[in-house]
A = this chain, B = another copy of it.
Amino acid sequence: MASERAFTRGLAQFFGRARGVRVGIGDDAAVVDNAATNSVLCCDPVVEGVHFTRTDPPALVGRKAVNRNLSDLAAMGALADWLLVSLVLPTRYPAAARQQLLQGIRSAARAGNCTVIGGDVATSRGPLVVTVTAVGHLPGRALVRSGARAGDTVHVTGPLGGSIHGHHLRFRPALREGVWLARQRAVTAAIDVSDGLLLDLATLLHTSGGLGAELDAAAIPIRPVVLWHARDRRTALRHALADGEDHVLLWTQKPRVVLARGGPLTGSARAPIGRVTRKPGLWLIHADGSRERLSPKGFEHRLR
C-alpha cells in the first residue's frame, strides 16, 4: 500500500518538467507561461464499462483518455501544451495496472507534444474514471463548427467505422491535419468525429444554421476491419456512417477549391464525400443515383 502523498510525489518525476512550467506537479495548482494570447481548452472523461472494458490494457486506456482530448483540440486547429489528469481509481486497483495507465498517459502526451502538469487522484468503489483536461493554443484561426455554407463539399481525414475492433483505443489525434486545415482559407468548418459520422455531421450542420447534406455512398471511406467483419458492403457502409469513436476530422470547404499541395492529408482525404445543402436533412446518394433519407444515428449518452 502506498499513500496518496507518496504517490503524487513520485508523479512530478515520472511526468518530467517542461519549458514554460513555473510551478509543476506537487503544489495546489500548476503555473505555466502562456504560449500565446489565446488558450484552447477541453475536458473529457473515459469511464470503465462505457469507453473501455475491464480487460482492455490500462496503457491503452490512458492513451485513449489523452487522445480523445487531443482530437478535440485538433478539430479546432489547435496545438496541445498541457494536460491535467484526474484519476478515480477503484479500491483494489492493482499498482501494476496504475503504473501502466500512467505510462499510457505519458506516451500519448509525448506523442502529442504536451506535458502533464497536474491533476488529482481519488479512490472509490465505482468504476475507473480517467478525466483528462487538455489546454493548447491556436497558431492561426479557430476551426469552428459553425462556418459551413450550402454548396460546400464535405471531407474526412481518414476511414470510418468499426472502431470497436481496436481503433477506439489506438487512434492518433489528427493534430497536424487540424493545424494544416486551419491554414487553408477554403476550409469553412470542422468537427471531431467521435459519435459517428452522421451524428457529428448533423451537429456541424445544425450549428452552421440548420443546413443539410448529401453523402455519396461510393465515396465514404470504410475502415478495412469493417469490410472484413460485415456481411456485405451495404452493412459495412452503415457502420462507417454510424459507429462512434473514429476520431478523424470532418471538415467542409468551399466548392471547386483545390487545397494547397503537400501537407499531412492523404490523397483520399482530399476527395469529397458529399455536399452541404441549404435544405436540412441528410441524404445518401447511391451509385445508381437513387436517394436514401438518413437519420442522424450514432452514439449518444441517454439522459433522463
Contact = CB atoms under 8 A, between A and B. Distances in A.
Interface string A40-66: 111111011111000000000000000
A188 interface: no
A304 B91 CA distance: 8
A124 B47 contact: yes
Interface in A73-123: 73, 75-76, 78, 82, 84-86, 88-89, 91-95, 98, 117-123
A245 interface: no
A94 B1 contact: no
B86 A43 contact: yes
A43 B28 CA distance: 10
Contact of A88 (B31, B38, B47, B118): B47
A29 B73 contact: yes
Identical chains in the assembly: 2
A124 B49 contact: yes
A119 B1 CA distance: 33
Interface in A120-143: 120-127, 129, 131, 133-136, 138, 142
B29 A42 contact: yes
A39 B32 contact: yes
B133 A29 contact: no
Given A3-B303, A43-B84, A43-B85, A31 B126 contact: no
A191 interface: yes
A287 interface: no
Contacts of A300: 3-5
Contacts of A2: 303-304
6 contacts: A1-B303, A2-B303, A28-B190, A31-B40, A34-B39, A88-B129
Interface of A: 1-5, 7, 22-23, 26-34, 36-45, 47-51, 72-73, 75-76, 78, 82, 84-86, 88-89, 91-95, 98, 117-127, 129, 131, 133-136, 138, 142, 144-146, 190-192, 199, 203, 207, 300-304
